[in-house]
């Protein structure tokens, strides 16, 4: 299902670049885009809702000022979630996957990002009201017009993807995956990606490692200290290497706006964890040996 689009081994997640995080200026975003490209991070992950529906426009302005040509990078965006927000007239959080809305949202993303096409366009979360044929009509229209190149989903189960594939091919699934949130290894999600050659992406690939201080964290830290010394790597690099080792060829979406941490992240692809070290971390996270 994959085509010849090549995404970087680490994807830069932009959710915290704007109002929901660092509130970077245009020049700061421009500098960060250039930094990413210089460090082989060429794929940027967006969503229409990020920054209270404002991140794409802020990124687009910075992209125009950067030293980057459009064909040197890959833009990913998502649609469908409707927040109660000052930017929208929504009364309740819901999802909208009507043909008109999908097309309108994609065209809005193109305008805000100052680009003619998206490399990958995702449905952000599954909705109980999804109509596969209507979604297919929207996607096919956008693809025919050259506005999106690949179509995928985010946070979908294999059965939900199967529902869509009655009408349209799904080329990617972006899901939560980290050492502390590994359910997708067991519920068929990654099996589905491998079987169908579907691109797997992981949001929040570091999990809550740097935010927790519980018994699980202490167990992981005991193992982590040994591995940091063995591989001469930081804890974040070890955590990303753990994600990268999965046979689904998972691409981590790293959601930091810190240049040092971004540069640190790209080096994780050079770490090949031994199988027993990989399972040592899993065992520490789960609190028991594997069955």
Name 225's Cβ contacts closer than 8 Å, sequence gap at least 6: none
Q: Residue 228: inside a domain, yes or no?
A: no
Q: In this model, does residue 94 exceed pLDDT 80? A: yes
Residue-level pLDDT at 30: 97
Name 111's Cβ contacts closer than 8 Å, sequence gap at least 6: none
Q: Residue 218: inside a domain, yes or no?
A: no
∠ CA 30-33-35 to the nearest 5 degrees?
110
Q: Predicted confidence band at 1 (pLDDT cuts at 50, 70, 90)? A: very low
Q: Predicted confidence band at 164 (pLDDT cuts at 50, 70, 90)? A: very high
pTM of this structure: 0.95
Range of the domain at 71: 11-212+249-269
3-state secondary structure of 75: strand
Residue with tokens 């964290």: 217
Half-sphere exposure of 8 (CA within 13 A, CB side): 26
* CATH code of the domain covering residue 22: 3.20.20.100
Residue-level pLDDT at 210: 82
Name 71's Cβ contacts closer than 8 Å, sequence gap at least 6: none
Query: How many folded domains does the chain comprise?
Result: 1
pLDDT in tens, 101-122: 999 999 999 999 999 999 999 9
Q: Residue 100: inside a domain, yes or no?
A: yes
pLDDT in tens, 256-270: 999 999 999 999 999
Contact between residue 172 and residue 153 where contact means Cβ atoms under 8 Å apart: yes
Paired tokens of 95? 């999802």
Residue-level pLDDT at 4: 61
Active site residues: 50
Q: Residue 260: inside a domain, yes or no?
A: yes
3-state secondary structure of 158: helix
Contact between residue 259 and residue 17 where contact means Cβ atoms under 8 Å apart: no
pLDDT in tens, 55-90: 999 999 999 999 899 999 999 999 999 988 888 888
Residue-level pLDDT at 103: 98
Q: Residue 27: inside a domain, yes or no?
A: yes
Residue-level pLDDT at 195: 97
Q: Residue 54: inside a domain, yes or no?
A: yes
Q: Residue 279: inside a domain, yes or no?
A: no
Could you give phi then psi for residue 118, rounded to 5 degrees? -110, 135
Q: Residue 93: inside a domain, yes or no?
A: yes
Report which secondary-structure segment, H or E, holds 202.
strand 199-203
């Amino acid at each position: 299902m994959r085509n010849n689009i090549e995404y970087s081994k680490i994807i830069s997640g932009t959710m915290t670049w704007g109002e929901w995080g660092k509130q970077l200026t245009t020049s700061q975003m421009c500098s960060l885009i250039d930094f990413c490209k210089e460090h082989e991070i060429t794929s940027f992950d967006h969503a229409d809702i990020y920054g209270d529906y404002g991140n794409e426009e802020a990124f687009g302005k910075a992209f125009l000022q950067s030293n980057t040509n459009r064909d040197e990078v890959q833009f990913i965006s998502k649609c469908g979630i409707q927040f109660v927000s000052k930017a929208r007239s929504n009364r309740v959080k819901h999802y909208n996957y009507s043909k008109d809305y999908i097309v309108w949202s994609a065209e809005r993303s193109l305008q805000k990002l100052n680009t003619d096409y998206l490399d990958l366009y995702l449905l952000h979360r599954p909705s109980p009201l999804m109509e596969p044929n209507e979604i297919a009509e929207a996607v096919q229209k956008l693809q025919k017009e050259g506005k999106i190149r690949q179509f995928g989903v985010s946070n979908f189960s294999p059965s939900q993807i199967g529902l869509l594939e009655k009408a349209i091919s799904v080329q990617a699934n972006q899901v939560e995956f980290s050492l502390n949130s590994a359910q997708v290894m067991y519920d068929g999600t990654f099996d589905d990606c491998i079987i169908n050659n579907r691109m797997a992406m992981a949001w929040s690939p570091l999990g809550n490692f740097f935010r927790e201080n519980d018994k699980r964290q202490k167990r992981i830290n005991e193992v982590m200290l040994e591995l940091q010394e063995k591989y001469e790597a930081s804890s974040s690099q070890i955590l990303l290497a753990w994600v990268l080792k999965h046979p689904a060829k998972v691409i981590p979406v790293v959601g930091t706006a810190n240049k040092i941490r971004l540069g640190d992240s790209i080096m994780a692809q050079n770490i090949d964890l031994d199988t027993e070290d990989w399972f040592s971390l899993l065992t520490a996270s789960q609190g028991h040996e594997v069955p």
